[in-house]
Structure formats: structure tokens, C-alpha cells
Structure 1
């Protein structure tokens, strides 16, 4: 209840095309100082498209609907950046917005709501859902889409059960936990100003469900699955690590890489050696600062070394990541490879037909 958490997971092959532009938090609890209410945001570029992901927790209780809408607008307003080269959030190609929004079901009494849920008759409840009502009247909220609410209201349950609130308060069930998205509007063609062919960027909802098996909270978790179809605006990474040029000399692993002309390197850039299956950027086996361990460089081609004497001999496959300090992102990844046992390397050269280390 004292904060919000937002995590993003990605398959490693996408990492060179994901740039974390900024993260931001907007506390709205207790006069704007406490983080039990508010929003957290991650701005990123994904294959050249601007994407904003927001997790929020809005004010509770039936009577605070106006306050919820006010906090929604405040979070949206505070996510914009004036001094940085990041477009207005409403100019992002995709905004994903989810969390405990705390919208309630108006007018109907507790008995009617529970009977409707028991009989899976949700359509009457949709009409009185506060978020659905707000979307019909608020031009900005109307631009956010949501999947159909075909699952029971996710609040409020007795803990460790599937029973709605049996306490003295007997809170009325509601769909408090929601997942919304907004795609950037494309300019409409007219007779005088025909629209240019817009890049292909489309989101399809595959599922929107709650999970009744989880009972550690008084809420039931909600998940959505999407298919995102896009035409990449960026198709080549900023750094290309060349696995065919990798070789070992004594206890050093020599790494060759090339960089694009517009890539701005930093003395704090580094290359990490990872086992395939890593879960975090800090899961490296070893790493090296690219400036400190540079061996040679020429037109766009550089070479550094990593000391592998302390790396245990294993049959695992490895990857190399190039991390840019300026962009706070991985900008290059090698193909998977194996490190040959050093005892084998001491016996003789590798078969040239097998470009392994």
C-alpha cells in the first residue's frame, strides 16, 4: 500500500531495439507526497515507435469518482517532459494504462449486483460502471480502449477465498482493476490534404481475463494479452557484435564490433558476457569497459578483450551485450556461441569451418 511497481520483460533479441527514454512517478496520495496513490511511467522507444506504459492506483470509495478522474488527468499531465527530446505523451504511438483504478458500480444495490454476478448477467452492471460512464462523456478518456468485461468484478473479496466481502462493511463488488490502451490518431485524409501512408502499427487484443485462483489479496488479478503488428522504423542495431571475429588468445576473449556513424559512445559503455537464459542486465558472467580494454580500432571497427580465466568451463551457450551509458539501454547483442574448453585450446587451433570461440 506504500508504492507502485512497474516491471517490463522482453526477449533478449528485442533489446537492441528498446531504448528506455525515461521513467517517472507522480504521487497523488496525502496532498501529493505519498506514493500509495498515483502513477509510475516508463517511456521507451520500440523499433523507433514511442510507447508509454503507466501503472496507477486511484482514490477509492464510491463517492470519490470526481477525484479519480481528477487524478487520472493529473497523472497524464505530469507525464509530459518540457526540457527533453520526448514528445507529449498524447503524441506517443501507444499508451498502455492499467492498475487499480477503483471505479465502482453506481445506483444498483448490493443484492442486485451480487445476483447479477451469480447469474453472469453483466450487461446491466456495465451501464452503471463509473469508468464506462466517464468514457461516454470525457473526450480524452473516450480515446482509450478496453476489452469487454466478461469476467466477474475483481473487488472486494475476503482474503484466501472467492467470497465477496462478508465483513461489516459489505462493500459492493466492482471492476476496480482495469487495462486500457490508446493508439495515436493518424491524420485524416481530405480532398486538399491527402494523408501520407502511415507506418504500420496496430494492436490487437487477444484476451482480457481475471484470475480467480489467486486469493492472497482482496482483489483478483487481471491480465491482457495483445498482438502488436508493426513495420520497424529501425531495422539495424546501433552496435553489431561480430561473433565470427571472436577468438581467444591465452586467457583473453577478443571481441570485434562495429558501430553506426551516428552512435555516440561513452567512456562508461561496457560489454557484458552472459549465459543464454539471463533474466536481468546485472546477470553478467563478466564485463569490460570498452574504453579501458580497447585493443584496436579502425573505421567503424573496434576490438576489446575480456579476461576469461575466471570463467568456469561449461557447455552453456553465451551472449555478448553492448550497454550504452548515454541511452541507458542495450544497443547490441551477439548471436549465441560457446566458449571452447581452455584445455582444448591449448592442444591446437580450432577448425576454421566452425567459427566458435
Structure 2
């Protein structure tokens, strides 16, 4: 899942976004009571814009499947219980591969779970290539994953540590001598000769291997199998290269689109699974390719719950609306795009066809009386995404009259 902070301002001259990526094989366990450390909510130095959360081995029993279909899976629900009060909203796309358009740049998010066991490294690489070859997106502008400006690729990749025996690996971990283990890490070895995988970057493995632990402990596997520890849980990224200008000129990332790793750590405090979660925090500096959102929404005036709200909105020249586009009215702190309190189909309810802004009315009379702040979102059916968000505003429960300094009645809203 991807969660985006709706309350951050847009700057057309330049922008720095902070992105927090989480990968965790939860081994069918239920969410723990506290995720503050995992989400870095106690870190006052972070001002995060986007959470990208990928889980593996979520409970897929029949009751879970029924719950997911009718409502929402418990992990997504739990994460949004924590993040929605902080103005984050979950992206509406599902599956292991999500494509986002961020200020005109294309970002691909891939959450994977590759084949296990030490001897299956070739099979893991085969799956890696197959994901790249088979995952295509609708639309002609981005036909393949590798055409995206940024790729985050993370998950339980199941790469293991070769050659060294169990005793040597455990002693190296105990003494925090990780450098010897890096040399035999299958992912590190593969990147040396696989040209495509070499394009993916990773931070230094300065934390202990994240697999395999006895559940509810920080002890590595003490079962009869005594599996050798390994860095199975990884976060990689790849920036799109510019076209090569000549045979002797190296391909470089776009200078207006730069990603910097701020931290790459595991979280040992969580013990519900035989894996430890891993997070990567990034700063993405970019020069926006779009100076304005595709749709600009403006609620007309101050409104009470006694009247319908008139909404004006304008579209950019390159945005094509659909008969199934709609505008939703939301309370600030919404968890999901379906959490609207009222909505209107833009084509069926359009009240202005002049050269000025488009206008529609939205019903606010059935909204319960509340002091909450509201905002408007324009949903594009063809893009399957929110393409315009208004500033927050308040809808007064009712109108009433007071007296000004001259004793005359004046309406207050």
C-alpha cells in the first residue's frame, strides 16, 4: 500500500519529498499493538510525505479473504488507523506493482516475494526478470517498468549467504563483523555480473540478517532445521538513465530528479514473525514537470448544511475527463478514496457550459452536524486516481445572526 500526505503544499520551483519504505514478511501474524518505531512516528526530525508499505505472507485464510472482499485486510486497516489522523491517505491501487505519477514523473513500486532456499538462486533471478518482462501498464506513454523515472523494488527476496557454515555466520553476527558475510551474500554476488540487477542500488547492510528468528524472540532459529541467518528482506531502487550521448559518455540520472538514502535499518523490537521488518527512508529532490494539478477545485464561499454547495473546477488542457469522473466531499483525515460523505457525477450534474470554470452542486444537507474540516477530491475514472484536491474548509452546522458594533443584525456563517 502507498499512503500520501494530503496536507503538504506544492512548490513549482523545486520540491523535496521524504519517502519511508517498509518491507516485512509478517508470517500470517496479526498486527502488533504499536507500530510507532516501524513508521518512525516518534522521530521528530522526520517530516514524511509518503509511506510505501509492502507486506508478505499475510493471512490468506477463507475468513481473511471474505473480510478483504467485503471490507479491508486487517494490516491495511491497522496502518491507516495510525496514519489517517496524520493526513495520509492510502492509494487505491492493489497488487504487487503500483504505478504513480508524481509531479509529472513516473514511479513504479514493486513488492515481491521470491522463491526460498539457498539452492534456488537461479530461480530467484528468473522471477526477477519475469516480473520486469510481464508487468505492463495501460497507456502508451509508459509501456514497461524500466521506462519509469524511479523504481522501488523491495520485499522478501530470499537471497541467502553462501559457503559459510552456520557457526561462522552466527559468530560473525554476534561480533557484528558483517563485512565477511557481505562477500557471500547472493544478491551482492549476483549484482557483480548481472547488468540489469546492477542498475538497482541498495544501502549498506549495517544491520544483522533479518531471517530466520524464533517467533516472539530475538533468537535465530533454534528448531531442528536451524536455518542459517540471511538478509532476505531488502529494499532496492533504480533511477532512470538519460539517453546515451556518445560511445564514451556514461549514462547519468536526470539532474532534476535525485534520490538520496537517509537511513536503511531493521527493527529488532518486532518479534511476531520469523522475519524482522526493514525500512528505508529517502529524500527525493525533483523539479516538478507540472506547474499545476490536472484539476483545480474551489468551493464557492462559506457554506452551511442548509444549502447545496456550489463547486467550481477547472481542467488543464491535456486532461481528458470521463463521463464517470466524480467529485467527493471528505472530512480531513480520510483513510481511503471511498470515505466520502457526499459525491456528485461531474458530467450529469454540470450547471455551467460557458468558457469559465465548470460548476456543479453537491448535496451537503444530509451531513451530520460537526466541527470537522472538509476537502474536495476529483476522481478520474480513466486514470483510476485522484487528480485534484481542494484546500480544507469548514461547513458550518447552521447559520445564525449576531449584532455588529452599531447594533445592526449581520449574518454569520
TM-score bin (small chain): 0.7 to 0.9
Offset, 1:344: 2.5
3-state DSSP of counterpart to 2:352 = strand
Cross-structure match for 1:96: 152
* Counterparts of 1:168 and 1:312, CA distance in 2: 60
1:9 maps to 2:3: yes
1:304 maps to 2:363: no
3-state DSSP of counterpart to 2:362 = strand
* Counterparts of 1:220 and 1:197, CA distance in 2: 32
Offset, 1:141: 0.8
3-state DSSP of counterpart to 1:128 = coil
Cross-structure match for 2:392: 336
Cross-structure match for 2:70: none
Offset, 1:341: 2.6
Q: Deviations over 1:122-163 (max 9, x none)?
A: 000000000000001111111110000000000000111111
Q: TM-score, normalised by structure 1?
A: 0.83
Cross-structure match for 2:277: 221
Offset, 1:297: 3.0
Cross-structure match for 1:47: 103
Could you list the runs of 5+ residues in structure 1 that have no partner in the other structure?
A: 1-6, 18-38, 352-356
Q: 1:260 touches 1:300 (CA, 8 Å); kept in 2?
A: no
* Counterparts of 1:300 and 1:97, CA distance in 2: 44
3-state DSSP of counterpart to 2:377 = strand
Cross-structure match for 2:309: 253
Of 208, 226, 242 in structure 1, the residue corresponding to residue 264 of structure 2 is 208
Q: TM-score, normalised by structure 2?
A: 0.73
* Counterparts of 1:275 and 1:81, CA distance in 2: 32
Give the total of aligned pairs: 325
* Counterparts of 1:82 and 1:291, CA distance in 2: 24
* Counterparts of 1:58 and 1:262, CA distance in 2: 40
Cross-structure match for 1:22: none
Cross-structure match for 2:350: 294
Offset, 1:190: 4.9
Of 71, 75, 86 in structure 1, the residue corresponding to residue 127 of structure 2 is 71
Farther off after superposition, 255-264 or 209-218: 255-264
The 1:124/1:196 distance shift into structure 2, 3 A limit, reads closer
1:176 maps to 2:232: yes
Could you list the runs of 5+ residues in structure 2 that have no partner in the other structure?
A: 13-94, 404-408
Q: 1:59 touches 1:67 (CA, 8 Å); kept in 2?
A: yes
Offset, 1:51: 1.0
Q: Deviations over 1:67-104 (max 9, x none)?
A: 11111111111113587442332221111100000000
Farther off after superposition, 196-205 or 209-218: 196-205
* Counterparts of 1:103 and 1:323, CA distance in 2: 40
Q: 2:202 touches 2:235 (CA, 8 Å); kept in 1?
A: yes
